[in-house]
Amino acid sequence: MKILVSVKRVIDYNVKVRVKPDQSAVDLTNVKMSMNPFCEIAVEEAIRLKEKGVASEVVVVSVGSKSCQETLRTAMALGADRAIQVEAEDGLDSLSVAKLIAKVAQEEAADLVIMGKQAIDSDNNQTGQMVAALLDYPQATFASEVVIENGEAQVTREIDGGLQTLAITLPAVVTTDLRLNEPRFASLPNIMKAKKKPLDVKTPADLGVEVGSNVSIVSVTPPPQRAGGIKVGSVAELVDKLKNEAKVVS
């Protein structure tokens, strides 16, 4: 079984986000970038399936400028076998990215596509579902457990209020939630080995996909700041404030 995993290079989750003064976008200059946390979980899950003997090959794909090759190398250091960079401007819209990944999944004849449920920059939570729709594949989003048997994926999903289990026929798309696994760290020897693993570069034209979006950014602004609060001296004062000032406790 072949697994395709998509990864996105995003601003590191520990970095404080700043909006550019011209309000056109978030400022990404000289900011630490990392693999999107949900993509890390997707890579980990694919590698575990390979280690269990369920998968035979793990291919990792990223859509973006040359710098995303670094993220692809990280995925290979973690255990992915080879990588594909689809060369495109960073920040392409979800539908365009979905079309590109769907095409790669088709060309690779991937049996399973594992993707993060959302990227922590644009927070869209839609690319995986779109890939599934474009390929007319079944999907299981927000996965917290994946079991592959008899050409099916039994996936436990995190839904509002609990868990739901679906059985979907392969080929299919799974998107990861936090509880699916705890990603490993890459060892130094594996980081060195990853440098020699194959990395192909393709363009949207190679894939026969036209990219573009009808959505434009009007502005990106900082969120309203919270007015500074006060320190209370005791639990009694706190309770009094909550009851009589904030009126959130009766």
Q: Which residue has the tokens 């000032």?
A: 245
In a 13 Å sphere around the CA of 70, the CA atoms on its Cβ side amount to 11
Which one, of 153, 157, 158, lies nearest residue 112 by Cα? Answer: 153
Residue 123: Cβ-neighbour burial (10 angstroms; 0-12, 13-18, 19+): exposed
Positions in 59-88 near other proteins (CB under 8 A): none
Query: Does position 38 bind other proteins by CB under 8 A?
Result: yes
Q: Does 147 bind other proteins (CB under 8 A)?
A: no
Contact with other proteins (CB under 8 A): which of 32, 185, 215, 244?
Answer: 215
Torsion of CA 21, 97, 143, 165, to 10 degrees: 130
Nearest C-alpha neighbor of 140 from the set 110, 181, 174, 167: 174
CA 149/CA 157 separation, integer angstroms: 17
Q: Applying CB under 8 A, which of residues 133, 186, 191, 199 lies at the interface with other proteins?
A: 133
Binds other proteins (CB under 8 A): choice among 51, 107, 159, 205: 159
Nearest to other proteins of 53, 229 (CB atom): 229
Shortest distance in whole angstroms from residue 129 CB to other proteins: 4
| Binding range to other proteins, per CB under 8 A, among 48-56, 58-66, 73-81, 127-135 | 127-135
Task: Name the residue with tokens 């520990």.
Answer: 14
Q: How far is the CB of 133 from other proteins (least distance, A)?
A: 4
Which residue, chain included where needed, has tokens 């060195």? 192
Cβ-count burial of 210 within 10 angstroms (0-12 exposed, 13-18 middle, 19+ buried)? exposed
User: Which is closer to other proteins, CB of 53 or CB of 245?
Assistant: 245
Closest contact distance (angstroms) between CB of 58 and other proteins is: 23
When binding is defined by CB under 8 A, the residue of 98, 101, 146, 148 that contacts other proteins is 98
> Measured from the CB of residue 106, what is the shortest distance to other proteins in angstroms?
15
Closer residue to other proteins (CB): 83 or 168 = 168
| Among 80, 112, 130, 207, interactor with other proteins by CB under 8 A | 130
Alpha helix stretches (DSSP H) within 1-144: 37-51, 68-78, 94-108, 127-135
